[in-house]
Amino acid sequence: MPANLQIILAQRPTPGPLTPQDFRSQETPIPVPGPGEFRVKVAYVSLDPAMRGWVSDAKSYVPPVPVGDVMRAYAVGIVDASEHVGFKVGDAVQGLFGVQSYAISNGRRVVKVDATAAPLERWVGGLGMPGWTAYFGLLDVGKPKAGETVVVSAASGAVGSVVGQIAKIRGARAVGIAGGPQKCRDLVQLFGFDSAIDYKKAGWVDDLKAACPQGIDVYFENVGGEMLDAVLPLMNIFGRIPVCGLIAGYNAREAMLGPKNFRAILTQRLRVQGLIVFDWNDRIPEASAALGAWHKEGRLKIREDVRTGGLPAFAETLNLLYSGGNNGKLVLKV
């Protein structure tokens, strides 16, 4: 009889990249749902940059994962046992099910997804939380106007690729920053960005300047550090900087230095604003509907990078995010 394979946070990670020793796997009996609960057979686990923060005990927007607990993760799967009136066996569902092969849920913050409209893994990617993040972060915080220039970092990632496409849908110019020629080609050819900048290339800051002849109105920040410093002097007056992620600092052993060009916030009257998608929980249906419609119309392309190493490969696969080793939304097949 199969067991429930779980990836457990084994110790509080020290600053720096996560190591295999930070996690251990364990097998437990497959759980049985109680009254008002259902069980999910997890199909795909979402690997997200935010995970580095979730295992750190630095002050953040959610409490850290306790040592000894199943690692926190968004995942998508199929209900295979239910004592819950709202969920029946066979339902495809997305939620915070953790890095494990079976999860018990009471339905809170679980979203039913349509596995016939898009592949299951897409519902933890561009049609799931990363898509919602792009939608609210760009439209509610960045507020791009038609004709403006929107720049996004980590542009080929799960959030960034959607940000650029929504910018285009709203009539703005989209410029993406990504690492390496392949990702940059994809940005233009697959996702329809107007221009792509390879930050691994010498002189990329000049390339960015050349790609933004009218300056930058919205910079959607996923990276931080030197990238923010390069962008700040190019920002137009009254520019907006939604801060969605600061992945450059997630593995840093020392606090990441803030931008040397911070003064541009004053002289250019910029608005720099942090965002966490949880703050729009009550508007998820709006984002889901919009993203789903754009996807169906072919205006929103989404790509996953599905890794098949299984749950034991969790830590090493996650680290791809911080080295830029993934191409598209990183998902672990269970």
Q: Which residues contact 128 (CB under 8 A, 6 or more apart)?
A: 46, 74, 76, 94, 111, 113, 122
Structure tokens at 190: 């697959």
Contact between residue 112 and residue 91 where contact means Cβ atoms under 8 Å apart: yes
Per-residue contact string for residues 236-275; x = within reach of its own copies by CB under 8 A: -x-----xxxx--x-----xxxxxxxxxxxxxxxxxxxxx
Q: In whole angstroms, how close is the CB of 271 to its own copies at the nearest point?
A: 5
Closer to its own copies at the Cβ: 192 or 274?
A: 274
Closer to its own copies at the Cβ: 82 or 268?
A: 268
Closer to its own copies at the Cβ: 40 or 235?
A: 235
Closer to its own copies at the Cβ: 106 or 261?
A: 261
Q: In whole angstroms, how close is the CB of 133 to its own copies at the nearest point?
A: 12
Q: In whole angstroms, how close is the CB of 266 to its own copies at the nearest point?
A: 4
Closer to its own copies at the Cβ: 33 or 160?
A: 160
Write phi, then psi, for 90 (nearest 5 degrees): 100, -15
Closer to its own copies at the Cβ: 84 or 240?
A: 240
- The single residue among 233, 292, 310, 324 that binds its own copies, judged by CB under 8 A, is 233
Q: In whole angstroms, how close is the CB of 68 to its own copies at the nearest point?
A: 24
Per-residue contact string for residues 192-231; x = within reach of its own copies by CB under 8 A: --------------------------------x----x--
Closer to its own copies at the Cβ: 257 or 293?
A: 257
Closest CA to 50 of 40, 64, 69: 64
Site for its own copies in 276-295 (CB under 8 A): 276, 279
Q: In whole angstroms, how close is the CB of 329 to its own copies at the nearest point?
A: 20
Closer to its own copies at the Cβ: 27 or 279?
A: 279
**Residue 316: Cβ within 10 Å count:** 15
Amino acid at 188: V
Q: In whole angstroms, how close is the CB of 54 to its own copies at the nearest point?
A: 12
Closest CA to 184 of 37, 324, 34: 324
Structure tokens at 302: 């989404």
Structure tokens at 63: 């409490």
Closer to its own copies at the Cβ: 185 or 209?
A: 209
- 165-168 long-range contacts, CB within 8 A, separation 24+: 165/191, 165/192, 165/294, 165/299, 165/300, 165/301, 166/134, 166/135, 166/138, 166/139, 166/294, 166/300, 167/138, 167/218, 168/192, 168/193, 168/194
Q: Kindly state whether residue 318 participates in binding its own copies, applying the rule CB under 8 A.
A: no
**Torsion-angle region of residue 104: left (phi > 0), alpha (psi -120 to 50) or beta?**
beta
Q: What is the DSSP pairing of strand 149-152 with strand 92-95?
A: unpaired
Q: Name 219's bridge partners.
A: 151
Q: In whole angstroms, how close is the CB of 217 to its own copies at the nearest point?
A: 15
Q: In whole angstroms, how close is the CB of 228 to its own copies at the nearest point?
A: 8
Residues 97 and 102: their CA atoms lie apart, in Å, by: 8
Per-residue HEC secondary structure of 87-132 comes to CCCCCEEEECCCCECEEEECCCCCEECCCCCCCHHHHHCCCCHHHH
Site for its own copies in 108-167 (CB under 8 A): none
* Binding-residue total with its own copies (CB under 8 A): 36
Structure tokens at 55: 């295992």
Q: In whole angstroms, how close is the CB of 268 to its own copies at the nearest point?
A: 6
Give the footprint of its own copies on this chain (CB under 8 A): 53, 59-61, 224, 229, 233, 237, 243-246, 249, 255-276, 279
